[in-house]
Amino acid sequence: MAERYIALLNSTEKIREELFMLIIDSLVKILKSKNRPTQVKYILCQTHQKFLVTHLTPFILTLSDNKDQNFEELILKLVTIIEVMLQRMPGEVVDIVPIIHLRDVVKQFHEKGLVSDQVKRRMKEAKALWEKVKKETGNKALSEKPPDNFRDLSVVPDYKDFQPGAKPFVRANVIDKAYISVEHYLDVQFRLLREDLIIPLRDGVKQLRKEKTMLEKGSQGDRKTTKKRRQVFVYQDVKILNPVCNREGGVYRICIDISHPALQRVQWKKSKRLKFGALVCVSPDSFHTLYFGSVEERDPADLNYGELQIRFDNCNGQQMRYFIENKTSFQMVESD
């Protein structure tokens, strides 16, 4: 049941208003509940990003269009949701809760007499809590020391970045304060940019692993639903053909299966797929073993035959010779 609820909150498609109202009611009850705190935390951790950014923010921005709504009760529920999220997971939500949008709506409705002074007071309390959390998390981010030197990190990810439960060290971008030093600025920006690069690929690999498990269990219906939410391009029956002479080494010509239905209509000359520098991940065993690389060279004429060059970062020559000689078939994913 929890998984279906999480899938609904993580949906990338617009949720119809009647259903979203039910979600708000249920979420208030879940957040207020003192039972099963671990499950509540799990739901929040899995859904806060999509719920707040994709669903709640647009909902609040269009509230004034709804003339038949009991705004008093609804806004009190929204304030409760935001407050509890700020209390339970401050660092994760402080920069994405739509508190300013909600404040503006409350101000507008209060001037029109659509909400009471009580709602205005509750909104003021919620905003004060948000400001307090923002200040505390900002101070913590400034004082927090990185576990390693960012210069030692590879731009291309490695296997530990994709392990279940992996929590990379990142700090929030400093907006309303000064960075401690140039080193602090470079560290924050590099780690954020690296995560921006890796997150879609990590989520895509996680989703493909989940689909594989569902397929093995025969959950075809759920698999079709989750397939829509992929954030990666998937390439099937990928083969490594041969090494390419290169000053730095590690570059190989590969071939993707362009006969696959998903690729038959791709116009490689115009397509943004597999552009130079694009991050890719290949696996011979349904993404249990991962090899990472980036597109080194792509020629639309070659791509019409499925061929391009990839620079691999965590695969040695002996492994590559084995893959070439045995014509190993891989799956490959690329960030959307």
Return the pLDDT at 228.
47
Instruction: Indicate the pLDDT class of residue 116, thresholds 50, 70 and 90.
Output: very high
pLDDT mean across residues, the chain: 86
Query: Is the confidence at residue 69, as pLDDT, over 80?
Result: no
With a CB cutoff of 8 Å and minimum separation 6, the contacts of 80 are 28, 31, 32
Domain 233-334 coded CATH 1.10.3470? no
Asked whether 20 and 8 are in contact (CB, 8 A), the reply is no
The pair of structure tokens assigned to 324 is 């070439």
What is the Cα–Cα distance from 41 to 103, expressed in whole angstroms?
Answer: 26
Query: Is the confidence at residue 227, as pLDDT, over 60?
Result: no
Return the pLDDT at 32.
80
Instruction: List the single range of 33-47, 127-141, 159-173 with lowest mean pLDDT.
Output: 33-47
What is the arithmetic mean of pLDDT over 105-121? 92
pLDDT tens digits, 288-313? 899 999 999 999 999 999 999 999 98
**pLDDT exceeding 70 applies to what percent of the chain?**
93
Query: Is the confidence at residue 321, as pLDDT, over 60?
Result: yes
- Per-domain residue ranges of the chain: 1-142, 159-215, 233-334
What is the Cα–Cα distance from 332 to 232, expressed in whole angstroms?
Answer: 10
pLDDT tens digits, 250-282? 899 999 999 999 898 899 999 999 999 999 999
Asked whether 252 and 309 are in contact (CB, 8 A), the reply is yes
Instruction: List the single range of 125-129, 193-197, 234-238 with lowest mean pLDDT.
Output: 193-197
Instruction: Indicate the pLDDT class of residue 94, thresholds 50, 70 and 90.
Output: confident
With a CB cutoff of 8 Å and minimum separation 6, the contacts of 280 are 274, 292, 293, 294, 295, 310, 332, 333, 334
Is residue 248 classed as helix, strand or coil in its secondary structure? Answer: coil
Count, residues in the chain: 336
Using alpha carbons, select from 129, 138, 130, 136 the residue that is nearest to residue 174: 138
What is the arithmetic mean of pLDDT over 62-79? 84
β-pairing, 307-312 with 279-283? Answer: unpaired
Instruction: Indicate the pLDDT class of residue 199, thresholds 50, 70 and 90.
Output: confident
Instruction: Indicate the pLDDT class of residue 210, thresholds 50, 70 and 90.
Output: confident
What is the arithmetic mean of pLDDT over 82-105? 89
What is the Cα–Cα distance from 39 to 56, expressed in whole angstroms?
Answer: 21
Return the pLDDT at 125.
95
Instruction: Indicate the pLDDT class of residue 225, thresholds 50, 70 and 90.
Output: very low
What is the arithmetic mean of pLDDT over 55-73? 84
What is the Cα–Cα distance from 127 to 108, expressed in whole angstroms?
Answer: 16
Asked whether 102 and 123 are in contact (CB, 8 A), the reply is yes
With a CB cutoff of 8 Å and minimum separation 6, the contacts of 237 are 256, 257, 260, 329, 330
Query: Is the confidence at residue 29, as pLDDT, over 80?
Result: yes
What is the Cα–Cα distance from 169 to 69, expressed in whole angstroms?
Answer: 43
Q: Name the pTM for this structure.
A: 0.59
